[in-house]
Structures are given as structure tokens and as C-alpha cells.
């Protein structure tokens, strides 16, 4: 059975450019999802205090809700048995400790909120997202707006407050080892292989099918296309009459499903 979804239009920012998220009930055709228990994942947000100069608490809470709602839409559209929930939010003082990169962000956050990072280390379904203000951010907005380092910090995201709602699931996708589309990835690795850039213990996490896809005039969530369809790549989904994936090279929905099932097994094993 094929399913169609309700149309919606949003303009948001991603890593390189503003992205147009548009999907139409007549153009996006989803597959029927199996009836499967969803693993719960918890996302803890930590905001740079200076963000409060530009955003109210209510606005930040609304942002959290919007980001997670979009993440869950993408997961549901892709038949990934996983749901994202908010673990709440804290604040981080970057006034005297402005991060310069991913490593220093993790280090400085650990000085102020070590319990959160310890929880992320202990609980595989708990993620910490550090959101930096424009003044404290080390990102070049034209080049990158959020990042992860799954090889080193498998449950940690750093983001610029200017990142749009799409950025959260894009980065959480990276933490499941989902990759960009092949053309973008090729330009980024510049002749190297992902295996050569990954610790030996984690090289089995790299799957040949774990890439984003382009379909119609858009790309899936892990792509760098200007137009983004709210799905992970899958050969079982079509947009504008074009298949949004390939079983051999572009099936991030499969990757995320495998990740979710493995995560559920770990969570169940920890339950007392």
C-alpha cells in the first residue's frame, strides 16, 4: 500500500544554504510502515546564555517543539521505528569560554554540565545538543551551521542558533552514521575514503547504502540540496514520480531502522 501526505511549506536554514522544505500530497508517495515498537530517544538542549538577549524562554521552548516535530515527521515518513522527545534544556555560559571547535565545545560543556555528558555516555538513547549564540558561535554561516563527530562523540551535537529546524535531524542522522549524497560526500572527502577517516573500531558502521538521494527537484534530509523532502532516502518512496533512493547506494531509511532496532535492544538490556 502507498500512502500520501498532507502538503506543507517551510523555509529554513541548513548547513550551507537556506533550504526549501516542500512536500505535496500529490507528489510525495510513502510506503506502508510495519507495525513495530518505536524506541524513545531523548534530546537535551543546552543553550548559550547570551541567546536570551535575542530569544525569550517561550521562543526557545517553541523552537525545541518545532525541531522535534520535524524530526519525528521525517522518521515517521521514512518508517523508522524511533521517536524523538525533549529531555529539557539548560544554559551554558560561553562568556569566558568561547568554544573554538567541536573538541573545545565538548570540553567547556563538560566543565559546566558534566552530568549531562556522563548521561549521554551511559545512555545510548540520550543526546546532548549545544546551541551557540551568533556571538559565541565558531561556525562560518556560509559554510557550516551545525556539526557532529560521531567517531568521537556519538551522542553530541553542536549547532548555531541560526540553524533551521531541518538541522537537528540532519545531525542526529549523522550520529546514526547516515551520510550525505554521494556527489556531496565525494567533494568533501577529496579522494579519501570514509574508512580512512574513521577509527578502526567504527569502520563497520560505514555502510555502502547509507547515503542521501536526490529525487525530482529535491533531496532527502541528509542531502545538501536547496529543496529538501522530509524523508530519509529510501527506494520505497517516490517524489515527483522519481524514486528517492536505491537499495545499493542510497537507503538511509534502512540504516536508521537498523540503528533504531539496535538502540531498542540496548535500552531493553539496561532496563531493570
Domains and CATH numbers, the chain: 38-270 (3.40.390.10)
Q: Among 224, 202, 204, 222, which residue's Cα sits nearest to residue 212? A: 222
CA of residue 98 relative to chain centroid, distance: 24
What are the per-10-residue average pLDDT scores of the chain (272 residues)? 36 39 74 96 98 97 97 98 99 88 95 98 98 93 87 96 94 97 77 79 93 95 93 97 97 99 95 62
Q: How far from 134 is each of 76, 96, 170, 234, CA to CA, in Å?
A: 32, 15, 20, 35
Task: Give residue 272's pLDDT.
Answer: 57
In the sheet that holds 214-215, the strands lie side by side as 8-13, 18-23, 227-228, 218-219, 214-215
Task: Give residue 2's pLDDT.
Answer: 43
Task: Give residue 26's pLDDT.
Answer: 63
CA distance 167 to 164: 6
Task: Give residue 4's pLDDT.
Answer: 39
Beta strands 39-48; 82-92: pairing state: parallel
Task: Give residue 19's pLDDT.
Answer: 56
Amino acid at each position: 500500500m502507498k500512502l500520501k501526505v498532507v502538503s506543507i511549506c517551510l523555509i529554513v536554514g541548513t548547513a550551507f544554504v537556506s533550504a526549501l522544505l516542500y512536500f505535496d500530497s500529490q507528489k510525495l508517495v510513502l510506503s506502508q510502515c510495519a507495525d513495530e515498537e518505536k524506541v524513545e530517544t531523548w534530546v537535551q538542549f543546552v543553550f548559550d546564555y547570551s541567546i536570551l538577549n535575542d530569544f525569550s524562554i517561550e521562543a526557545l521552548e517553541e523552537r525545541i517543539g518545532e525541531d522535534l516535530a520535524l524530526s519525528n515527521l521525517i522518521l515517521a515518513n521514512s518508517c523508522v521505528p524511533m521517536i524523538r522527545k525533549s529531555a529539557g534544556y539548560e544554559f551554558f555560559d560561553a562568556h569566558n569560554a568561547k568554544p573554538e571547535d567541536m573538541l573545545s565545545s565538548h570540553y567547556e560543556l563538560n566543565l559546566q554540565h558534566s552530568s549531562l555528558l556522563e548521561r549521554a555516555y551511559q545512555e545510548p538513547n540520550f543526546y546532548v545538543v549545544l546551541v551557540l549564540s551568533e556571538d559565541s558561535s565558531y561556525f562560518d554561516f556560509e559554510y557550516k551551521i551545525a556539526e557532529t563527530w560521531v567517531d568521537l562523540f556519538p551522542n553530541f551535537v553542536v549547532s548555531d542558533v541560526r540553524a533551521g529546524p531541518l538541522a537537528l535531524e540532519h545531525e542526529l542522522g549523522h550520529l546514526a552514521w547516515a551520510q550525505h549524497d554521494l556527489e556531496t560526500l565525494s567533494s568533501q572527502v577529496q579522494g579519501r575514503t570514509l574508512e580512512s577517516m574513521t577509527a578502526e573500531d567504527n569502520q563497520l558502521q560505514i555502510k555502502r547504502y547509507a547515503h542521501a538521494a536526490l529525487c525530482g527537484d529535491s533531496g532527502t534530509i541528509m542531502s545538501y540540496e536547496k529543496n529538501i523532502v522530509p524523508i530519509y532516502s529510501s527506494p520505497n518512496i517516490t517524489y515527483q514520480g522519481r524514486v528517492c533512493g536505491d537499495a545499493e547506494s542510497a537507503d538511509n531509511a534502512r540504516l536508521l531502522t537498523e540503528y533504531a532496532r539496535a538502540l531498542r535492544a540496548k535500552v531493553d538490556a539496561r532496563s531493570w
